[in-house]
Amino acid sequence: MGRLSFVFSIMIRSHFIAFAIAAVPVCVSAENIDALFPVKKHDFGTVAVASKTEFVFPINNTTGNQIHIQTVRTSCGCTSPVVETPYIAAGQSGTILARFNTDTFRGKRGATLTVVIDQPFYSEVRLRIDGYIRQDMVFNPGSVEFGKLNQGETHGKSAKILYAGRDDWSVVEVLSNKPWMTVDFKQESRGSQRATYEISVELDPSAPAGYFQDEVIVITNDRTMPRVPLRVSGELQSDLSISPQSIAIGSVKPGESVQRQLVVRGREPFTVDSIEVPGFDVTFKASGDAKTTHIFAATFTANGEIDGLNSSPLTVTTSGSKPLTATASLTAQIRAN
């Protein structure tokens, strides 16, 4: 009886030690935490008074542990930090937004943002924001925001430039770095060392679907600070969209199947007719009722037509006399049998 008790005690201790070892978290150092921030500095350059001026610092959690951002301290009221994702799970990404307060500050400004992390252990990471807020030039409104729009149509918005300073000051040019975004400008008034310009921004029907955030550059005849950005943002919604836009199914052999959930949305009620992916046979069971949103599982079976690492277009086609199509991408590693 004593021997059995001894053996049982040893077994209990062994399981306890194994459990304790398994419960030890992945070792994370301060250097690891610092490396989660791929960008630690941003310079806005020269911006106008009251312009909407923001930058998003990305955070990639590669520690193997959940991290928690307790707070972000700022060294200057010229910059307001916003923790957009306080908790970031292992393998996920988050963001901290830095907002440059151009409506209340002028001149050369800068701030150190101290990110305080209290999980998995206490650590601090420092980020830096700089910029020059010129006081003689104001955008009204502070940015061109299109909001949600239908893709495939022409859309236009405008903003004013209000200047007070030199008699000979002028806007020389306005530049866009997107082929589907055209810009123009015109002088509306001038006198007593003041000038007013209107900046027009137009999106043509070829603009891609999805959210965009860009800027147009106002070029003036200033010698020292001729380039001033004006933020442009919006979301173009297509007649038909697929979520997620990027689908990964890992490694499969010909004949093997993988199932993934898809969400297909449209502006008008529809039914799904087909899903096609080169190199795969696709089966699905979507509702036969016409709806604006369909959520269903699709099964992808490698048919042996392709091999190796491939990223193929996934095309969804709707039923009806005027079918619509939407495209996503499917990535897979096709192994040999």
pLDDT per residue as tens digits for the range 179-225: 999 999 999 999 999 999 999 999 999 898 888 999 999 999 999 89
Arithmetic mean of pLDDT, 85-111: 93
Q: How confident is the model at residue 20 (pLDDT cuts 50, 70, 90)?
A: very low
Per-residue model confidence (pLDDT) at position 16: 40
pTM: 0.66
**pLDDT tens digits, residue range 291-315?**
999 999 999 999 988 888 888 999 9
Q: State how far the Cα of 319 lies from the Cα of 325, in Å rounded to an integer.
A: 10
- In contact, 69 and 83? CB cutoff 8 Å: yes
Residue 111 clears pLDDT 60, i.e. is over it? yes
* Tokens of residue 219, six digits: 């070029």
Residue 230: both structure tokens together: 């004006």
The string of pLDDT tens digits covering residues 133-159 is 999 999 999 999 999 898 889 999 999
Task: Report how far residue 112's alpha carbon sits from residue 129's, in angstroms, rounded to the nearest whole number.
Answer: 6
Please tell me the distance from the alpha carbon of residue 136 to that of residue 62, in angstroms, as a whole number.
Answer: 45
Tokens 């061109």 belong to which residue?
Answer: 144
The pLDDT, as a whole number, for residue 215 is 94
CATH 2.30.30.100 applies to domain 30-134 = no
pLDDT digits (tens, 9 = 90+) for 247-289: 988 899 999 999 999 999 988 899 999 999 999 999 998 888 9
Class of domain 143-237: mainly beta
Where residue 91 falls among pLDDT bands split at 50, 70, 90?
confident
For strands 240-243 and 272-276, give the pairing: unpaired
Quote the pLDDT of residue 28: 54
Residues of the chain with CATH 2.60.40.10: 30-134, 143-237, 240-334
Q: Is the pLDDT of residue 21 over 80?
A: no
**Closest C-alpha to 300, from 317, 318, 283, 275:** 283
Taking the C-alpha atoms of 292, 297, 298 and 301 in order, what is their torsion angle to the nearest 10 degrees? Answer: 180
Q: Does 170 score more than 80 pLDDT?
A: yes
Question: Residue 7: is its pLDDT beyond 70?
Answer: no
Per-residue pLDDT, averaged over 102-123, amounts to: 94
Contact 106, 133 (CB under 8 A): yes
The pLDDT assigned to 211 comes to 86
Residues with Cβ within 8 Å of residue 31, at least 6 apart in sequence: none
Output phi, psi for 148, to 5 deg: -95, 130
pLDDT in tens, 24-66: 344 455 567 888 999 999 999 999 999 999 999 999 998 888 9
> Contact 116/136 with Cβ under 8 angstroms?
no
294-298 contacts, C-beta under 8 A, 24 or more apart: 294/262, 294/263, 294/264, 294/265, 294/270, 295/261, 295/262, 295/263, 296/261, 296/262, 296/272, 297/259, 297/260, 297/261, 297/262, 298/259, 298/260, 298/261, 298/262
pLDDT at 23 over 90: no
Task: Report domain 240-334's class.
Answer: mainly beta
Averaged pLDDT of the chain: 88
> What share of the chain in percent tops pLDDT 90?
66
Closest CA to 232 of 211, 250, 251, 249: 211
The distance of Cα 260 from the centroid of its chain, to the nearest Å, equals 23
Is the model's pLDDT at 10 over the cut of 70?
A: no
